[in-house]
Amino acid sequence: MESDEEDFVFYGTPIEREDDLLSRKKKAIAESSGQLRTLPAWKQEVRDEEGRRRFHGAFTGGYSAGYYNTVGSKEGWAPQSFKSSRKNRAEFKEQNILNFLDEDEKSVGYLIGGRGSGTTSQFDTFGFTAAEIARKQVEKEQKQRTKAMCLILVSLVHLAALFHLKPSIIPGPAPDEIVVPVTESVGVKLLLKMGWSRGRTIKDSHSDALYDARRQARRAFLAFSSDDPKVEVSESESVKGDIENFPEEPVNDDVQFSKSTPYGSFGIVMCDVYVLNPKQDLHGLGFDPYKHAPEFRENKRSRIANKSGLGFSSRDSLFGLKSGKAAPGFGIGALEELDAEDEDVYATGYEFEDAYVQEVEEPSTLRLENQTKKEKKDQGDLPGFRVASNSDYKMERFEAPLVPKDFVPRHEFSGPLDINRKTYEVTPPDAPPPEDGNLKLLIEGVANLVAKCGKLYEDLSKEKNQSNPLFSFLSGGTGHEYYARKLWEAQQKHNDQTSQQLNGKMPPSVKKLTAESRGQILGEKPLEKSSQIPSSSVASTDIQLQFNLTDTFTKSASFSQLTNVENPFKDDPAKQERFELFLKEKYKGGLRSASSSLASDMSEAARAQERLSFEAAAEAIEKARQGRGSKLLSPSSMDFIPGGVMQFTSSEVEPKKDLKAEDILRKKMYPKREEFQWRPSPLLCKRFDLIDPYMGKPPPVPRIRSKMDSLIFTSDSVKGIKVDDPETSKKEISSLPQSTNEDITKSITENKTEGDVKVENIERPVDLYKAIFSDDSEDEGGDSGIGRVDNQEKKAEVANTALSRLIAGDFLESLGKELGIGVPPDMPYATQKSKNIALQKELVNEDTRTDILKSQNNDEMSLNHDLPYDQQIAREDVPSKGDTIHGNMRESSNVNSKGNSTMNYRPDKSHEENIKDARKVKTPVTHRRDYNSSSSLEEEKNRKCSRHHRHKRRNEGSDSSGDDERDRQHSSRSKGRRKGSSREKSRSEKHSKHHKHRKHESPNRSSRYSNEKDNPHSKNEKRRRE
């Protein structure tokens, strides 16, 4: 506490006892030095620990103003004796901390490394710690080893001194020391890294011991030195001494070290040990810009090597950073994570890399040492060492393997194909086909197959059809010769084809064709001919020119297409001639000359071979012609290019046309305008100073008219029936997946029921009630047979049709709008629905929960009995309650469309989103109802529960989704009704909820309800009896 008080400033005067006052006053003040601060500075007094006043003013000193606090000796100061500065010019006196230390401080070892200071061994840079001692032991050993080398180096020192080099090569055993196995302090490590070698002092090199060494080497240099060597501070004299006998004892590290250490780091002489890799850049310690790109390091090194010597650029500034180098979007704070959007997508703002490299290559400072270094670099990094001509950093690079020129990128299969090829080395003679046409066909077919699939196939079929006389040709029966011939032909053909494909040895025309056809396949567009100018006049001349060209090319009118390019055998004129003959024969019809006279000198086999090749070539040409023909037939190009023009002309016009056509097509497609309904929020309208187009209209649905239509104009709705009816049949597969959108379905079911109500009130179809209530009573009997399901469904269908008839009309329209689909009022959502259905049906079919959903539908249907109330409300409160009703209607239309038409709630996305929209709008209403649902009729609830219970039973086991939703419901609602499984309960609760809402909305409904309830019940009874 006291110590605390000492530091505080006190206000006010402490109360003191009078008797003590005089005697203790001063002491008290002295003791609580804090109190001094209450006084102004000029009133404060300094006292010693006994409270005595030791400092005095010049006139208040008195006796006690002795030497105590001033001079430190009784004699006081002695005036300095005069010294003439004539001889001794003003010296630059070196001071060190010891000059300013008192004896006691010295004794404490204040600031002096190792003595009394508490640094740990690790941070004890120069301390005489155990580690240091141990290290020195090692050093001593090393000393022995390095002595010989050092002696050599010493001579170098002198040499260096001659050249005014900083004697940085003084042979500190640095390399050895670095490897010293003993732990070193951090400071030593750092120093070593910075180029310090043990035993050297850390001092500016001027005036240091090395200087003395230099002096010793050559006196002449003294004149040039900036310092007077004689002026040595006392403590450095010891060092000097050491250094002076340095030549004799070059490795006198220990002595030197020990002598210099008492003075801490202050007496240590800096020596210019050449640092192998001095840190000259502005990077952070340990940062290696080339870490992942050693190539650049090489680059830089070579550049530096080129520059070395005198070429110091003036660019070295400490602020070498170009401002632009900072990331262009520099504003990202340190705390913000850098993610993708922070990338400089423009990336072009700054020449980042340039700046980077430039910055790197500058040595940051210009120093004399550098120069020496540079000079030394010429000789080598270290005396006795040379820069390696090849660096370790060289990346090992491997040449890409040389592909032999004759290499064909094709895999040879050693399979049956090859075998086959060899099998029929000898050409089988041309055999007449068997008389039997079928057999001939069979043989040919088999031959082709075998040629294609390999010998294996032949063997197989042989084996299989051993007993079959038809296949006797395989094993040497009738037609075997023909088969052999055919097989050979087929094989030749096949091999030719494959080899053509693989070897690229095709005749040029064929090659060209394939490229083009491939292009066609890939949808590529042939290059446009540059000379082609899309102006009509030029085009016409062009065409003429082409005509002329073709004239020159073609040999006969019939072969106009057969241009030079397409002559497959032009290297062999005789063969070409034969080929043309062959073509003539082939295409002109008539009888073939039995054997071409031209090739009479050829062997049978050669002729056969040749014919096959001709065949192939002709085929190829034919194909080309066809392709061209088809192109020519394209209407656009027809105008410009008459039939005989060469192929490339057609291809050059065509793409343009294609492009244009595409363009036109795209233009036709886009822009595509669609119009949807969009409901601006009232506030937005207000802020835009516009009248809300939906003002006064129910939130979800835009137009009141639609509601009225749906209620009154049933004729409209009749149209909808047709559309709906077929869809009701799909109800079996309809599914209302109660997946994530449970609440959607919820609201939908709710609304559906409401919508249904309206319908009923208008028409009151008896069967609807029956459908609703009859099964109710049935099921209450506890029957849950599957056969009943059908029955129920049927009823539900009936009900649905009835409902849809009523609702379809304008609801559909509004629904269409809601869903963002422009549906004309007459053609309701059927189309859209069917679309959805088509998409979803498959899904639904696969849905394992189909039956669940079905039953859910039933649930909804069964809920219809509630509906009358809503309907009632709607009728009664049309003006006032328009909003809610309208919403209900709209949603009911939604529901109906979906429910009746097998509404899948596995909706495609847009649909879903639309629903979402609807739901968004809707939710507030439902919420309100939820909260309002406080009062409920027990009987209703019970009945409902039971019904739902029944349905649930059916659903049990398969109903897996929507649990959470139910839970929510559950939690939000009263928990009084717990029946059966939680699932059942929740379900029932859900329904009861809907029920409740309705009730709440119209108090008079309840009475209504009871009436009607009775009614349907009785009806049900009736029906049952029937």
Using CB under 8 A, list all residues that contact another protein.
Answer: 328-333, 336, 341-342, 344-346, 348-349, 666-667, 669-681, 683-685, 687-691, 693-694, 702, 820, 913
Please report how close the Cβ of residue 722 comes to another protein at its closest, in angstroms: 29
Q: Whole-angstrom Cα distance, residue 587 to residue 292?
A: 69
Positive or negative, the Cα torsion across 317, 319, 322, 327? positive
Which of the 8 DSSP states describes residue 433? P
Please report how close the Cβ of residue 336 comes to another protein at its closest, in angstroms: 7
Of 104 and 341, the one with the shorter C-beta distance to another protein is 341
Please report how close the Cβ of residue 677 comes to another protein at its closest, in angstroms: 6
Q: Whole-angstrom Cα distance, residue 170 to residue 945?
A: 103
Polymer length in residues for the chain: 1026
Which of the 8 DSSP states describes residue 339? -
Of 687 and 1022, the one with the shorter C-beta distance to another protein is 687
Of 327 and 449, the one with the shorter C-beta distance to another protein is 327
Conformation bin of residue 166: beta by default, left when phi > 0, alpha when psi is -120 to 50:
beta
Please report how close the Cβ of residue 692 comes to another protein at its closest, in angstroms: 8
Residues 6+ away with beta carbon under 8 Å from 598: 574, 577, 578, 581
CB 644 within 8 A of CB 632: no
Between 130-162 and 209-217, two packed helices, what is the crossing angle to 10 degrees?
A: 40
Q: Whole-angstrom Cα distance, residue 398 to residue 451?
A: 45
Q: Whole-angstrom Cα distance, residue 381 to residue 275?
A: 9
Please report how close the Cβ of residue 523 comes to another protein at its closest, in angstroms: 18
Q: Report the SS3 class of residue 53.
A: strand
Please report how close the Cβ of residue 694 comes to another protein at its closest, in angstroms: 6
Tell me if the bond preceding 671 is cis, omega within 30° of 0.
yes
Of 617 and 921, the one with the shorter C-beta distance to another protein is 921
Of 18 and 675, the one with the shorter C-beta distance to another protein is 675
Of 345 and 388, the one with the shorter C-beta distance to another protein is 345
Of 241 and 324, the one with the shorter C-beta distance to another protein is 324
Q: Whole-angstrom Cα distance, residue 944 to residue 987?
A: 10
Task: Show the 3-state SS of 836-864.
Answer: HHHHHHHHHHHCCCHHHHHHHHHHHHHHH
Of 92 and 678, the one with the shorter C-beta distance to another protein is 678
Q: Whole-angstrom Cα distance, residue 1026 to residue 1023?
A: 5
The torsion angles phi and psi of 53, rounded to 5 degrees, stand at -90, 120
CB 417 within 8 A of CB 423: no
Of 582 and 694, the one with the shorter C-beta distance to another protein is 694
Please report how close the Cβ of residue 681 comes to another protein at its closest, in angstroms: 4
Of 416 and 680, the one with the shorter C-beta distance to another protein is 680
* CA of residue 26 relative to chain centroid, distance: 79
Of 326 and 441, the one with the shorter C-beta distance to another protein is 326
Of 6 and 354, the one with the shorter C-beta distance to another protein is 354
Q: Whole-angstrom Cα distance, residue 160 to residue 273?
A: 13
Of 403 and 683, the one with the shorter C-beta distance to another protein is 683
Cα-based angle 580, 581, 583 (whole degrees, multiple of 5) = 65
Beta bridge partners of 47: 53
Please report how close the Cβ of residue 350 comes to another protein at its closest, in angstroms: 9
For the record, the structure tokens of 872 come out as 């009632």
Please report how close the Cβ of residue 750 comes to another protein at its closest, in angstroms: 25
Please report how close the Cβ of residue 349 comes to another protein at its closest, in angstroms: 6
CB 746 within 8 A of CB 919: no
Please report how close the Cβ of residue 496 comes to another protein at its closest, in angstroms: 46
Of 204 and 342, the one with the shorter C-beta distance to another protein is 342
Please name which of 185, 199, 362 lies closest in space to residue 279, comparing C-alpha atoms: 362
Of 432 and 693, the one with the shorter C-beta distance to another protein is 693
Please report how close the Cβ of residue 186 comes to another protein at its closest, in angstroms: 40
Please report how close the Cβ of residue 341 comes to another protein at its closest, in angstroms: 5
Q: Whole-angstrom Cα distance, residue 13 to residue 38?
A: 9
Please report how close the Cβ of residue 821 comes to another protein at its closest, in angstroms: 12
Please report how close the Cβ of residue 538 comes to another protein at its closest, in angstroms: 21
First to last CA, the chain: 103
Q: Whole-angstrom Cα distance, residue 1018 to residue 1026?
A: 12
Residues 6+ away with beta carbon under 8 Å from 200: 170, 172, 268, 269, 270, 271, 273
Of 211 and 694, the one with the shorter C-beta distance to another protein is 694
Please report how close the Cβ of residue 744 comes to another protein at its closest, in angstroms: 17
CB 910 within 8 A of CB 720: no
Type of residue numbered 197: S
Type of residue numbered 350: Y
Positive or negative, the Cα torsion across 1000, 1004, 1007, 1011? negative
Of 154 and 918, the one with the shorter C-beta distance to another protein is 918
Positive or negative, the Cα torsion across 651, 652, 657, 663? positive
Q: Report the SS3 class of residue 47.
A: strand
Q: Whole-angstrom Cα distance, residue 852 to residue 960?
A: 10
Q: Whole-angstrom Cα distance, residue 961 to residue 745?
A: 12
Please report how close the Cβ of residue 669 comes to another protein at its closest, in angstroms: 6
Please report how close the Cβ of residue 330 comes to another protein at its closest, in angstroms: 6
Of 181 and 671, the one with the shorter C-beta distance to another protein is 671
CB 363 within 8 A of CB 316: yes
Please name which of 773, 734, 705, 756 lies closest in space to residue 872, comparing C-alpha atoms: 756
Q: Whole-angstrom Cα distance, residue 355 to residue 324?
A: 8
